[in-house]
Every structure is written in structure tokens, then in C-alpha cells.
Amino acid sequence: MIDNGAITVEGIYKVFKKGRSDEVRAVDGISFDIKKGELFGLLGPNGAGKTTLIKCISTLLIPDSGAVRVAGYDIYREPLEVRRHIGVLTGGERSLYWKLNPVENLRYFAALYGVPRKHVGDRIDYLLELMGLTEKAGARVEKLSSGMKQKLSIARVLVHDPPILLVDEPTLGLDPYFARFIRDFVKNELNRKQGKTILLTTHYMDEADELCGRIAFMNRGRIEAMDTPVRLKRSMPQKQVLEIKCQGAIEKEIFDRVPDAAGINITHSDGFVYVRINTDNPEMILSSMIELIQQKTKIFSVRVTAPTLEDVFVDLTGASLRNGK
Amino acid sequence: MKRGEGSTKRVFHYLRAINAENIKEWKIELTYKPDFIRQFIEPFVYLFPYLLYGYALLGGRYSEHLKDMTGIGDMVAYTFIGYLFIGFLNTACWAMGFSLRKEQWYGTLETIFVAPVPRWVYVAGMALHSTCHQGLIMLIQAVVITTFFAIVLKMGGLFPALALVLLMLLGLYGLGIIVAGLTIALKQWWVVSEALSTLIVVVTPIAYPLAVLPIVLRKASMFLPTTYGIMGVRHFMLGEQLAVSLPTIFLRLAIIMVVWLTFGMATFLIMDRYGRKKGSLSVY
């Protein structure tokens, strides 16, 4: 049994067959360790293999090869013990029984997890209060808002007080208020106060940057880099990012001939297009960039910023966190 | 760190989980009230074509020919006892087989699959729920039909009949867990349920004695728990003449129970592993 390691992943592979000849390498030889009490993030675009990896660790899927130990238990030989020590929280709203109320849901899961009967009532009261759901204890889940459902999902995950949490895209589809609540709760209550080990997957770079002590960049089933957010950002060869906010369709290829532009990332948000270029010399490329973009569309603003995790990801993989291309 | 649960503690944990599954299903089912009521009315409606067909052929409810073959001349009593067992067949082929897909439709399948209980526990919970549900429906059916048609049952045979039903149910659970296992791998799983339930209804002596079946089907029926369950219960409750002795019926039923349960669990475990290898549960 490993004393310090909460989760140990050694060279795991998971390949899905698509038809007779095609295959998708969802997890392609990944290894990492997560220490007890650590909040570790897996950051990558949709389809990077994050959820497949979480499913392998939580025994929902059997890897093709490699070794995984959770709380010292082997996922192949001791899957029930692995499951007893983890709580798995997924994004989306359908992990609860909508026709039951919060208390009925939690009672059911308490029975599945073998929480002693004499403690179930107190545990449920505590969790509902912790999540601010006491007043909704008797309301059917279908009547709760998306944010409240996600809060109840967290209560469900905590019903057996697991030492390790696997949190898969926890703020997906939530409004900013509830997303903020979930982030604060994961960091301050679960990780700092309760000391739980957390493996968090997300494709939101701000979420990973804010919450995680260490981050692994995942793309096409592989880990491209792994370190603290600060070190990852420092590791960028280009120390500045030129960001141009514009509108309309822009193709990445038009910037191919711009010198000193190492990584270019084009994202869409709030009706605007953001072109971000990793560079050491923003002043040198500024005029040629503006000229190229103005041939296609209107520019709203230009600024120079420090690299974000997304910029590091683009620099490493050439892919965007938002669309994986 | 303590390594694992003790075996006694584990058994109680699984039993509690099975019961929690049963209670959860009752609660969900009771939120769909019209459908819940329908399930109690429908079995009466479906019985009538059997009886009307019998009346049309016999010109009444009594048949000397049926009496010669089975020792029971009352077509209504004969058919009604057999018909009751369709409810248990539904438990195996539909409720148990459907259990994992139902969780998938709720969206909760992966959530419950990361709980520290084996996956057959959910199928067993559904079996318990459906058995209670069907048992309640059958009890109401039995009271209403026997009163309405003035059928006299031998109440002294009730306990041995129930013992046979218990053995038969365990055998059917084996069948049900096979179907549940196949649903993990097959996208159109209901084809298996449909085919199995239809086949079993045909070769099981629900509305006619086995003697009228072609020899091949008669042999096939000998491998089904429902055959012995229905014959035995008719014997105990109505006095049907048996082609084989009672101890033989109990023995065969016990063997069938062990075989189906073992085969069922093996199939389920293989399919569960297959599903976790292929990721098939996430696909559909």
C-alpha cells in the first residue's frame, strides 16, 4: 500500500474500436501521481481523454494496460475498495433521481455506500445544511434549479465522506453564480478545510488556474506537460501575448507568414473573436497583425497581456482548449 | 487502513442496498399514478380473451376432455392459475432485464456503478421490487377472480404451493439476470426479452396442458422453471393430476434453479466485464 499517494496512474492505455479498422486512442500511456490532500487538475479540450481517464480510475472502464491504485487499492483486483474510497462528481444534472426529493436521494446513496444506519439522518442533515439545501429537503429534485441540483450532487458524493474525489467538469452548464459557488466550495471547503484529495477535470483554464495546485495538460489521450500553474506559465518561451479583439470570421492560416508569432489561438466569446498570439516582441508584429485582420474584419481593441494556461496549452499542442483543434 | 468489509458485514450491506433499490423503485413508481393504476387493471383485461376463447370453444366453462387430461374440468380455474404466472415472467424478462437500461434512461447508471456494491445488486433490487409488485397484483387478481367466478381453491395446499413458487422464482431470477447482462452488450436488448417471454409463454402450460404441445416443445418446457411452478401450484390448489411425482417436481425445479442462477450470474459477470472493457454502457 502506498502511504503518500492517493492516486497512482502508471502507463495506462485505453483504445476504443470504431468499426472494424478504426480505433481511438482515448488514453495513450498516461502516468502521474496525486498526493494525499492535493488538488490536481486535468486540463484539456473536449475529446482529450479526461473523462475516459476518470472512468478508468473510478472502475467504470477497464484500461487495456497499465496500473492504477487508488487509496492504495488496485482497480483491477479491488474495485469495490476503490469505489468505497472515492466520490465521483460529474457535470450535468442527471446523476440524481428527479422524482425523489433530496432526502430520499441521499438515503438511497447512503444505503449503497453502507453508511451506518444510525448516522444516516445526521449525515443528511449536515450535508443539506452545508450545501444550503435544508429548505428544499422535501422538494422533488425536478423542481430544483440546475445549480441546486449540482449542490445536491455534491452532497451525494460526500454522503460516505470519501477521502478522494474525482470531479469531472463540475461547473459545466452552470450560471456564473453557481459556478463560483462550486469553485469556492471545492477549493476552500473540500480541499483546504476537509483535506480531501481532488482530481478535477476541466476545459476551463481559469477554473484550473484558480483551483489546482498542479495541472496536467491533456491532449489526444496524452499528458503534454505537468506542473504548477505558475511554473507552466513561466515555462512559455514567449513571455507576452498580444490579444486582438475583433468580429467576424478569421482563419488561423492568414497569420502563417507573420514572424515572431509562435502560437496563435483564435477563440469566440460573447459575439467577439479573440486572436491571441504568443510572442516576445508584440511591438514588432503589431502592425502586420492589425493589417492582416483589418483586411478581413473590424478591430475593437488590442492589448498585451501575460500568458494564461490556455496560451501555454496552445504553445505546447497547437490545439485550443475550447475546441481541441 | 482497514482492508475491506468482513463477509457478514458485506452481506448485510448488499441486502440493504437491494432493499434500498426496491424502496427507491416504489417511490418513483408511485409518482406516476395513472401508470401505477393501469398496471393493476391491465392483467384483468388481458385474462378475458383467454377465457372468452375457452368459452367459445367449449360452450361453457367445463370440459370433460380437459378433465380427462388434467383432472381439472373447470377451464376458468385452470386458465386463471396459469395466467397468474405471466406476472412473474414479466419480472424476469422485463423488470430485471430492463433494470440497468432504466437507470441509464434516468441518467444515474454511472453514478450508481461507482458505489461499492457489485452490479448484480441493482438487478436483484429490481427483482425484489418487481416480485413484490407482481405479488400484490396477483393477490388482488386471485381474490377478485376466485370471488367473481366462484372458484374453490384448496387452501391446505397454499404453503407447499408457495414453496414451489419460491423455487421457481429463483430459477426465473437466473433467466432475468441473463437478460440484464445481455442489455449491457446489446443495443436492441428488448428483442431478447420479447423473444424469451414469447417463447416461454408458448411452451409453458399457462392456458393448456403440456400434453397438447408437439414433443420438441414439450421437451423444451422441461428446462423452464415456470413449467414446474404452474403444474405444482395447480396440483396443490386445484388438484391437477401430475405426470411425475411431487418429489420429482421439487427436485427438478431445484436443479433448474441452481443451473439458471449459476448460468445467469456467470453471463452477467462476463457481460459486465465486457461492458467495462468496451465502454458499451456509455455508448447508447
Domain chopping of chain A, boundaries: 5-228, 237-306
B99 domain residue, yes or no: yes
The mean-pLDDT minimum among A57-66, A115-124, A172-181, B60-69 falls in A172-181
B interface test, pick of A112, A113, A164, A165 with most B CB neighbours within 10 Å: A112
The CATH number corresponding to A5-228 among 1.20.200.10, 3.40.50.150, 3.90.25.10, 3.40.50.300 equals: 3.40.50.300
Q: Do B279 and A156 touch (CB under 8 A)?
A: no
Task: Say if residue A325's pLDDT is above 60.
Answer: no
Q: Checking phi first, is residue A167 left (phi over 0); if not, alpha (psi -120 to 50) or beta?
A: beta
* pLDDT tens, residue by residue, B201-210: 999 998 899 9
Provide the pLDDT confidence category of residue B281 given band limits of 50, 70 and 90.
Answer: low
Instruction: Give me chain A's average pLDDT, please.
Output: 90
Rg (CA), chain A: 22
B2 domain residue, yes or no: no
The mean-pLDDT minimum among A110-114, A170-174, A231-235, B229-233 falls in A170-174
* pLDDT tens, residue by residue, A248-273: 888 877 877 777 666 788 888 888 88
Task: Say if residue B173's pLDDT is above 80.
Answer: yes
Instruction: Report yes or no: A58 at the B interface, CB cutoff 8 Å.
Output: yes
Residue B115 corresponds to which cell in the numbers above? Answer: 458505489
* pLDDT tens, residue by residue, B225-269: 999 999 999 999 999 988 889 999 999 999 999 999 999 999 999
Q: DSSP H helical segments within B91-189, as ranges?
A: 97-106, 109-113, 120-148, 158-185
B96 domain residue, yes or no: yes
The CA-CA-CA angle for residues A163, A166, A168, to 5°, reads 155
To the nearest whole Å, the CA of A89 is away from the closest chain B CA by 8
To the nearest whole Å, the CA of B28 is away from the closest chain A CA by 6
CB contacts of A163 in chain B (<8 Å) are none
pLDDT at A321: 66
Kindly state the average pLDDT of the residues A37-64: 94
Residue A12 corresponds to which cell in the numbers above? Answer: 495506462
Cα–Cα distance between A13 and A30 in angstroms, integer?
7
Task: Say if residue A153's pLDDT is above 60.
Answer: yes
Task: Say if residue A293's pLDDT is above 90.
Answer: no
CB contacts of A104 in chain B (<8 Å) are 24, 27
Considering CB atoms only, which of A58, A71, A114 is closest to B13?
A114
Task: Say if residue A205's pLDDT is above 50.
Answer: yes
pLDDT more than 90, % of chain B = 75
**CATH code of the domain made up of A237-306:** 3.30.70.260
The SS3 of residue A276 is strand
The mean-pLDDT minimum among A18-22, B20-24, B175-179, B210-214 falls in A18-22
Task: Say if residue A199's pLDDT is above 60.
Answer: yes
CB contacts of B123 in chain A (<8 Å) are none
Rounded to 10 degrees, what is the CA torsion of B218, B224, B225, B231? -10
Instruction: Report yes or no: B49 at the A interface, CB cutoff 8 Å.
Output: no
* pLDDT tens, residue by residue, A44-56: 888 899 999 999 9
Q: How far is CA A55 from the centre of its chain?
A: 14
All residues at 6 or more sequence positions from B267 whose CB lies less than 8 Å from its CB, including other chains: B177, B178, B181, B182
Give the domain extent around B21: 7-283
* pLDDT tens, residue by residue, B105-128: 888 999 999 999 999 999 999 999
Reported ipTM exceeds the 0.85 cut: yes
- Nearest residue in chain B measured CA to CA from A58: B114
Domains of chain B: total:
1
Task: Say if residue B283's pLDDT is above 70.
Answer: no
Instruction: Report yes or no: B20 at the A interface, CB cutoff 8 Å.
Output: yes
| Interface subset of A 144-163, CB within 8 angstroms of B | 156
pLDDT at B1: 46
pLDDT at B256: 96
pLDDT at B284: 43
pLDDT at A18: 78
The mean-pLDDT minimum among A106-115, A309-318, B70-79, B153-162 falls in A309-318
Provide the pLDDT confidence category of residue A4 given band limits of 50, 70 and 90.
Answer: low
Task: Say if residue A324's pLDDT is above 50.
Answer: no
- Nearest residue in chain A measured CA to CA from B274: A62
Between strands A299-305 and A240-246, the pairing is antiparallel
Q: DSSP H helical segments within chain A, as ranges?
A: 50-57, 79-84, 102-112, 117-130, 146-158, 176-184, 205-211, 229-234, 282-294, 309-317
